[in-house]
Amino acid sequence: MNKLFVIVLFVSFGIFAFAQSDTLPDILTVIHSRKSVRNYTEELVSRTQLKVLVKAGMAAPTAMNKQPWFFVVIDDKEILSTLANKMMFGNMLNYASAAIVVCGDMRNVTDALPKFWVQDCSAATQNILLAAEGTGLGAVWIGVYPNKVAVKKVRKLLNLPKYIVPLNIISIGYPDGTDKPKDKWNENKVIWNKWE
């Protein structure tokens, strides 16, 4: 009977470990463990991994389902370094394995509709950041638009056509463990029903 107990315990633990390792971390864990990762190891991120991130980006909602976006995925080290040197807050791109530039496509933005493209592309960006965290990568959002100088620099470097506006650069790599999430919960920023 003792032997039986040990076998059951052993098999159960194995199955439990398998069930856990089988799944990616859950949504709330990822939302709260996501952090701005600016420090990376030298390990490279593959194109397959980057595609998982872009696919997550394109799953974001967009106003009137316009999907007014383009994603420039950079894994050329030379381009990453040039971006790092030209951007004011882009130093981490020197050490990043890759970057995704989330862009708005002005051909999908009509004057009839309020300009929701910034919101659409920001939602896509947040999806990418969460997908990175959830798949063991680290990422940080580097703001570009509406800083006109920054927009011009990125557009020139990446040879973007006039109708493509870079909203941000997401720097991506394997986290070296330095960066930690912030607890930003603040009950005073919640109002119930109506402002008094």
Q: Which of the residues 137 through 176 are near its own copies (CB under 8 A)? A: 140-141, 143, 145-147, 158-161, 164, 167-168
C-beta separation of 38 from 140 below 8 A = yes
Report 63-82 residues binding its own copies (CB under 8 A): 63, 65, 67, 69-76, 79
Which segment (38-46, 110-118, 171-179) binds its own copies by CB under 8 A?
110-118
Our measurement of the distance from residue 71's CA atom to the centroid of its chain's CA atoms, rounded to an integer in Å, reads 12
φ, ψ of residue 118 in degrees (nearest 5): -60, -40
Taking the C-alpha atoms of residue 20 and residue 118, their distance in angstroms, rounded to an integer, is 37
For its own copies, give the closer residue by CB, 23 or 48. Answer: 23
Taking the C-alpha atoms of residue 71 and residue 143, their distance in angstroms, rounded to an integer, is 15
Which segment (38-46, 108-116, 171-179) binds its own copies by CB under 8 A?
108-116
For its own copies, give the closer residue by CB, 48 or 193. Answer: 193
Beta strands 98-105 and 138-143, pairing class: unpaired
84 binds its own copies (CB under 8 A): no
* Smallest separation (angstroms) from its own copies to the CB of 126: 4
Which segment (15-23, 38-46, 171-179) binds its own copies by CB under 8 A?
15-23
125 binds its own copies (CB under 8 A): yes
Q: What is the separation, in whole angstroms, between the first and last Cα of the chain?
A: 68
Which of 38, 45, 54, 171 touches its own copies by CB under 8 A?
A: 54
User: What are the residue ranges of helices labelled H in 58-116?
Assistant: 77-86
For its own copies, give the closer residue by CB, 48 or 65. Answer: 65
CA distances from 39 to 100, 165, 169, 193, 195 (A): 17, 27, 16, 42, 42
Instruction: Please work out the total of residues on this chain that contact its own copies, with binding judged by CB under 8 A.
Output: 86
Which of 24, 85, 110, 180 touches its own copies by CB under 8 A?
A: 24
Q: Spell out, one character per residue from 27 to 46, where the chain touches its own copies: x when CB under 8 A holds, - when not.
A: xxxxxx-x-x----------
**Which of 7-10's residues contact partners 24+ apart within 8 Å by CB, and which partners?**
none
- Which amino acid is residue 185, in one-letter code? W
